[in-house]
């Protein structure tokens, strides 16, 4: 039995009945990493950590978990896969890490990502690209590509990623696993190294919907350390795992099924709709009229916030410091310029420049302020639909995983990879991607379900029902 190919809830059953030990589970994952990660490159560092016992009085959940390289763990190098943070070891745990430690989770290692989460392919990493376990000539998606590849490739049982514009859901779709972006404020961002503070959310990447419900239950909740954390009760998400969608009305946005979508993706999503109809869900075509402005709005708001957040990396307090060989302006200014030029990759520089421009004097009102106004309109679109629908269903991505290097020189084409996921971040709503089929080339296809703020239970109910009536979540990469 390959324990590392099982889900977390299956493994917990084995541990409870004494058919497997936490150490055996951890060792099985480590053996898989040793056997395959030189080729997949899901991890940037691996830890042979001690198996935790969990908090006293609580049932332990000693499941091997992979952590994206932008989530702080005390004393563990955390670099956002950027040269500029080389050597940085946080003096504190992110809130999600603290909660996982209390649960008894086992930290397997730190996963690869696009630098500072700037990308949709995990090619923009100072450590090199991650490869998709289903086809190693292709990308795993991004920016949480390392976490998605680790789970799909049996190198972790579950993982944490972060989602600013689709960075959990799109790689989950490309790698054939489940990825959840919670409602903004549902999970604390304390200890998440910021990309765009009004968009970022930490969430689970797992092998099935049940595991996503379990992991979200561990990491969700109010946190005094995060001023954007929502003081909203956290339900028992496992109670939403029922094979029943009768009485639910699901909207199909006409703007998401237009030119540019891969016919195989469109066909798989149509088949998923038929499955849910047979299970009792009602469907209705709806409109999200400002969808066409989502990409432009996102790349104004997100780059502006990135420019502001990345200003702190100056070579003074932590990370990389480069001193020029000869003085040009002043020792301090020269050091700033040399450090940032050497420390940031091309995509990070591109986004910093775009964001700085949109925030600059004379352009703030034309770009950033207008972007915020359109963001409000996009949110209102969702509010209007949710007045008559319980959920919205769309493809997760317009295509399956593309070839490594295929879009590297075409930033706009790369940005369009997130066209179906970005709006959920702009509006703050929860969204989940579940596997819904495979292309003729054997590549996974993802189905995205969106719900009202703090209605993650609706996502789990629909996702679980779909899972129980289809075989896709049982497909495993053969490595």
pLDDT surpassing 80 at residue 423:
yes
CA distance 68 to 156: 12
Q: Tell me, yes or no, if 143 is annotated catalytic.
A: yes
Q: Look at residues 93, 92, 125, 99 and name the one whose alpha carbon lies nearest to residue 111.
A: 125
Nearest to 117 by CA among 109, 108, 125: 125
Map tokens 């590849």 to a residue: 149
Give the class (CATH, top level) of 3-242+465-474.
alpha beta
Of 103, 120, 121, 143, which one is the catalytic site residue? 143
Q: How far is CA 18 from the centre of its chain?
A: 33
Per DSSP, which regions of 242-312 are E strands? 249-253, 282-286
Backbone angles phi, psi at 255, to 5 degrees: -70, -15
State yes or no: pLDDT of 329 exceeds 60: yes
Q: What percent of the chain has a predicted confidence (pLDDT) above 90?
A: 89
pLDDT number for residue 10? 97
Query: Catalytic: which of 103, 120, 162, 167?
Result: 167
Task: Answer positive or negative: Cα dihedral of 466, 122, 479, 28.
Answer: negative
Output the pLDDT for position 427.
Answer: 98
Distance CA 187, CA 183 (A): 8
CA dist list (Å): 62 to 55, 151, 186, 379: 11, 16, 23, 39
Catalytic residue among 68, 181, 407, 452: 68
| Other Cβ atoms within 10 Å of 128 Cβ, number | 12
Mean pLDDT within 316-328: 87
Rounded CA-CA distance 246/468 in Å is 15
In whole angstroms, give the CA distance from residue 360 to residue 261: 36
Structural tokens at position 31: 């053996």
Non-local (6+) Cβ contacts of 372 within 8 A are 301
Nearest to 420 by CA among 299, 285, 259, 294: 294
Q: Please report where in the chains the tokens 């104004």 appear, as a residue.
A: 300
Nearest one of 302, 318, 451 to 389, comparing CA atoms? 451
The pLDDT score that the predictor gives to residue 1 is 62
Domain boundaries, the chain: 3-242+465-474, 292-372
Cα 250 to Cα 339, 386, 388, 445, 449: the distances in Å are 50, 9, 9, 20, 9
Nearest to 222 by CA among 182, 186, 190, 180: 186
Confidence bin at 56 (pLDDT 50/70/90)? very low
**Residue 433 annotated in active site:** no
- The pairing of beta strand 391-395 with beta strand 43-46: unpaired
pLDDT of 398 > 80? The answer is yes
Average pLDDT score, the chain: 94
Average pLDDT over residues 463-477: 96
Please say whether the dihedral angle defined by the alpha carbons of residues 433, 435, 437 and 440, taken in this order, is positive or negative: positive
Residue 432 corresponds to which tokens in the numbers above?
């989940």
Report the pLDDT value the prediction gives residue 385, as an integer from 0 to 100. Answer: 98
Q: What is the Cα–Cα distance from 213 to 432, expressed in whole angstroms? A: 11
**Alpha-carbon distance values, 94 to 75, 188, 191, 201 (Å):** 12, 8, 4, 13
Q: What are phi and psi of 354, to 5 degrees?
A: -60, -45
Q: What pLDDT, on the 0 to 100 scale, is given for residue 57?
A: 46
Asked if 315 and 442 count as a contact pair (C-beta separation under 8 A), the reply is no
Q: What are phi and psi of 436, to 5 degrees?
A: -135, 20
Average pLDDT over residues 143-169: 98
Q: Which pLDDT score is estimated for 194? A: 96
3-state helix, strand, coil in the chain (%, to 5): 40, 15, 45
Per-residue pLDDT tens for 342-394? 999 999 999 999 999 999 988 898 999 999 999 999 999 999 999 999 999 99
In sequence order, the β-bridge partners of residue 180 are: 432
388 belongs to the catalytic site: no
């Amino acid at each position: 039995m390959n324990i590392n190919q099982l889900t977390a809830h299956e493994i917990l059953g084995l541990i409870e009945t004494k058919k497997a030990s936490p150490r055996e589970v951890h060792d099985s994952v480590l053996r898989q990493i040793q056997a395959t990660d030189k080729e997949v490159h899901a991890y940037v560092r691996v830890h042979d950590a001690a198996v935790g016992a969990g908090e006293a009085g609580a049932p332990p959940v000693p499941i091997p978990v992979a952590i994206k390289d932008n989530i702080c763990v005390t004393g563990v190098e955390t670099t956002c896969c950027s040269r500029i943070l080389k050597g940085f070891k946080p003096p504190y745990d992110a809130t999600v890490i603290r909660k996982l430690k209390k649960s008894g989770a086992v930290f397997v290692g730190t996963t690869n990502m696009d630098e500072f989460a700037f990308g949709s392919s995990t090619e923009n990493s100072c450590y090199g690209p991650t490869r998709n376990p289903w086809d190693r000539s292709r990308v795993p998606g991004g920016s949480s590509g390392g976490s998605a590849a680790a789970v799909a490739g049996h190198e972790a049982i579950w993982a944490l990623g972060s989602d600013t514009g689709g960075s959990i859901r799109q790689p989950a779709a490309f790698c054939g696993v489940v990825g959840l972006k919670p409602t903004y404020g549902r999970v604390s961002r304390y200890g998440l190294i910021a990309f765009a503070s009004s968009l970022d959310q930490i969430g689970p990447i797992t092998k099935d919907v049940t595991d996503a419900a379990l992991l979200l239950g561990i990491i969700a909740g109010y946190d005094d350390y995060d001023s954007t954390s929502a003081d909203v009760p956290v339900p028992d998400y496992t109670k939403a795992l029922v094979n029943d969608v009768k009485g639910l009305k699901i909207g199909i946005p006409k703007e998401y099924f237009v030119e540019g979508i891969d016919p195989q993706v469109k066909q798989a999503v149509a088949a998923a709709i038929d499955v849910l109809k047979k299970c009792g869900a009602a469907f209705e075509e709806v409109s999200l009229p400002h969808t066409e402005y989502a990409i432009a709005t996102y790349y104004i708001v997100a780059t502006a916030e990135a420019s502001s957040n990345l200003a702190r990396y100056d070579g003074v307090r932590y990370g990389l410091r480069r001193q020029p060989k000869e003085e040009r302006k002043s020792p301090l200014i020269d050091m700033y310029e040399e450090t940032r030029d050497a420390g940031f990759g091309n995509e990070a520089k591109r986004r910093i420049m775009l964001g700085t421009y949109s925030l600059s004097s004379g352009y703030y009102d034309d770009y950033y302020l207008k972007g915020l106004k359109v963001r409000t309109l996009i949110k209102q679109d969702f509010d209007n639909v949710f007045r008559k629908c319980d959920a919205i269903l769309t493809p997760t991505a317009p295509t399956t995983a593309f070839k490594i290097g295929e879009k590297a020189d075409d930033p706009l084409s790369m940005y369009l990879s997130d066209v179906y996921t970005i709006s959920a971040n702009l509006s703050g709503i929860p969204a989940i991607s579940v596997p819904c089929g495979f292309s003729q080339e054997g590549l996974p296809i993802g189905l995205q379900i969106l719900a009202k703020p703090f209605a993650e239970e609706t996502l789990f109910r629909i996702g679980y029902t779909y899972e129980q009536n289809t075989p896709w979540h049982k497909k495993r990469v053969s490595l």
